[in-house]
Amino acid sequence: MGAAQRRPIDYTRSGLAVMAAYIAPHKKMFAADMILSVIIAFIDLAFPYVSRWTMNTLLPQNAFRTFFAVMAIIAVAYIGKAVMTTAVTKIDHGMGVKVEADMRTDIFNHMEELSFEYYDRNRTGVLLGRITNDLFDITELAHHGPENILTCTLTIAGALIIMMTVNLRLGAVLLIMTPACILFAMWARKKMQEASVDVKKVTGEINASIESSISGIRTSKAFANETIEGEKFEESNEKFKTMKRSFYHWMGIFSGGTEAMVGLMQVVVIAYGGYLIMNGQMTFVDLITFTLYVSTFTSPVRKLMQSMEVFAQGLAGFERFLEVMRTKASIEDDPDAVELTDVKGHVVYDHVSFEYADGTEVLKDVSVQILPGETFAMVGSSGGGKTTFCHLLPRFYDVKSGSISIDGIDIRKVTQSSLRRNIGIIQQDVFLFAGTVMENIRYGRPDATDEEVINAAKMAQIHDEIMQMPEKYDTFVGERGIVLSGGQKQRVSIARVFLKDPQIVILDEATSALDSVTERQIQEALYRLSVGKTTIVIAHRLSTIREADCIAVIEGKHITEKGTREELLLMDGAYAALERASAW
């Protein structure tokens, strides 16, 4: 069942309720699994009781034909048990895979909805672990947990009840010992789960370290810092070993303690049973039956013991899964949000202030009006707030105070998707996906035809170079576009915006990676793109913004100067100083 067909899940409910909600769409498989498991448990419980009946009744009466018929029926039952065990294995693993796929779909979609602030606080490798390792452990819990708990509980309870009917005194002794075993198991399981959570946290750090090292492999080799990267990884790996040792320490205590209790139960049964036989209060047949039931009783205890690592890791993974799913996006659509349509491009920043989640203030009381079709340029020192100014327009972050409007509509009153469809961004740090050139350009408008993609590439002055590549538009660009030059990557990103054709365009150092010849070509293309569109430009090369309708200087959280190039030069302030410096 696809994610769209499933009912929405309320993650504020208990973990058990959330897990039940994921199993619910597969209830037929779950029911078949549980029914077959109950039958298997019944077969295990029936054998000692039937054996006792045959030894107490059939053999003394010399009913040998009936005796062997009963044994044959039991043999057939155990063959049936083997068939049902095979079916249970297939069913519960199949259900587990479906539950895992549903969870992975939900957590991926939820991560896509989370705001930039969430990713500012979390490393990629850690988040990757939530989607991969944690979900695998949850799957093991989902398909083994219910089955093991049901069958083991039925077998333990059934064996105790039957043993009480065989011999009340001996059954009472085991009944007294059972709670102690259960309490010990619960205590040890809690310790194992706590240790497992620590292991998963460190595993996330290791994944993040690996992801960072592989992504930056060229940089580490360029600086001959492979040893340093190895030391950083080894530090995380040592933490992992320490946490894992703690986990196995508690697992060892659980295993050893459970084995001791199981062994003591068997010793007590034989010792006390022998005492009862000596006093004529129990027969050998009943003791044999009791011994068989002790084995039936201890088998699920051992099974639970062997599953305890799976339970601990699965529950720890599920806690981390719920932690992500219960995280709300810091930026959400207003309940009455409308679609932003027929955009003209009149942008107004009205007394805007902004600070990041850590309290770092970047912009303070900034007011700007950009008329439809105007080019608004920003200059200033790095870290002055230029990029943040641009990120507020598509609501990558929300203003702390003040407001931003497009065509008189507060951007907080429109849907984020419609807002961003009308804004095109060409960033300084270009990101290309590990696909073909065609796929990366088409990302600007997924429904575009090949001809439209090619036309966008021509407008971005990259078509001729693509046609010289080995597979032309089907050339694989590598991880983060590594097979392309910096200028080629920049122009592919520009082609995306040509294809998207938004009414508002943001150029964040869009030509910074280009040589002077290519820069002139791109400037011509960007000029064609910006005709009739509202354009916001961040630039260090002042030559690229001389024709802007308005230039603003951002320094120290404020806009300190604003006007045309000629007006700013007449002021002889910060902008004029920048032009004089660039002349050198």
Q: What is the pLDDT of residues 414-469, one digit of tens each?
A: 998 899 889 888 877 777 777 888 888 888 888 888 888 888 888 888 888 888 88
334-422+504-584 and 427-501: same fold? yes
pLDDT at 280: 82
Tokens 């998207």 correspond to 500
* DSSP letter for each residue of 149-201: HHHHHHHHHHHHHHHHHH-HHHHHHHHHHHHHHHHHHHHHHHHHHHHHHHHHH
Work out the angle at residue 380's Cα, subtended by the Cα atoms of residues 379 and 385, and round it to the nearest 5 degrees: 100
Angle at 362 between CA 357 and CA 366, to 5 degrees: 125
Q: Two tokens at 374?
A: 């105007």
Contact between 105 and 3 under an 8 Å Cβ cutoff? The reply is yes
What HEC string does 450-468 produce?
Answer: HHHHHHHHHHCCCHHHHHC
- DSSP structure class, residue 454: H
Q: What is the pLDDT of residue 495?
A: 87
Amino acid letter, 216: G
What is the sign of the dihedral through the CA atoms of 317, 318, 322 and 325? positive
Burial level of 165, CB count in 10 A (0-12/13-18/19+)?
exposed
Q: Cβ–Cβ contacts within 10 Å for residue 457, how many?
A: 26
SS3 331: coil
Q: How far is it, in rounded angstroms, from Cα 109 to Cα 88?
A: 31
Location of structure tokens 């590990």: 434
Q: Do 476 and 436 form a contact (C-beta atoms < 8 A)?
A: yes
SS3 218: helix
Share of the chain above pLDDT 90, in %: 6
User: How many Cα atoms sit within 13 Å of 318 on the Cβ side?
Assistant: 24
Average pLDDT, the chain: 80
Q: How many CA atoms lie within 13 A of 462 on its CB side?
A: 29
**Strand (E) or helix (H) holding 310:** helix 284-325
CA–CA distances in Å: residue 453 to residues 87, 495, 538: 51, 8, 26
Cα–Cα distance measured from residue 253 to residue 92, given in angstroms and rounded to the nearest whole number: 29
- Output the six-digit token pair for 443: 């990302």
CATH classification code of 427-501: 3.40.50.300
Question: How much is the pLDDT for 256?
Answer: 77
Instruction: For tokens 């089907």, name the residue.
Output: 474
Q: CA angle, 516 as apex, 513 and 518 as ends, to 5°?
A: 70
The predicted structure's pLDDT at residue 219 = 53
Is-contact 278 158, C-beta < 8 A?
no
Give me the helices (H) in 216-283, please: 217-222, 226-278
Cα-based distances in Å from 302 to 74, 227, 253, 292, 306: 24, 46, 14, 15, 6
Could you tell me which of 403, 397, 411, 412 has the C-alpha nearest to residue 360? 397
In this prediction, the residues of the chain whose per-residue pLDDT falls under 50 are 1-4
Residues ≥6 apart with Cβ < 8 Å to 580: none
Domain edges within the chain: 11-325, 334-422+504-584, 427-501
d(CA 310, CA 319): 14
**CATH architecture group of domain 11-325:** Up-down Bundle (1.20)
Q: Which residues contact 496 (CB under 8 A, 6 or more apart)?
A: 424, 426, 440, 441, 443, 444, 456
Q: Are 370 and 346 in contact (CB under 8 A)?
A: yes
| Unique residue bearing structure tokens 């599953």 | 307
**Residue for token digits 């002021």?**
571
Give me the residues paired with residue 551 across strands. Answer: 377, 563
d(C-alpha 502, C-alpha 103), whole Å: 35
Predicted local confidence at residue 466, as pLDDT: 86
Q: What is the CA radius of gyration of the chain?
A: 35
Neighbours of 304 (CB within 10 A): 22
Burial (0-12, 13-18, 19+ Cβ within 10 Å), 182: middle
Rounded to an integer, what distance in angstroms lies between the CA atom of residue 484 and that of residue 478? 8
CA atoms within 13 A on the CB side of 424: 26
Give the DSSP H/E element, type plus range, for residue 12: none
pLDDT value for 514: 56
What is the pLDDT at residue 4?
43
CATH topology of domain 334-422+504-584: Rossmann fold (3.40.50)
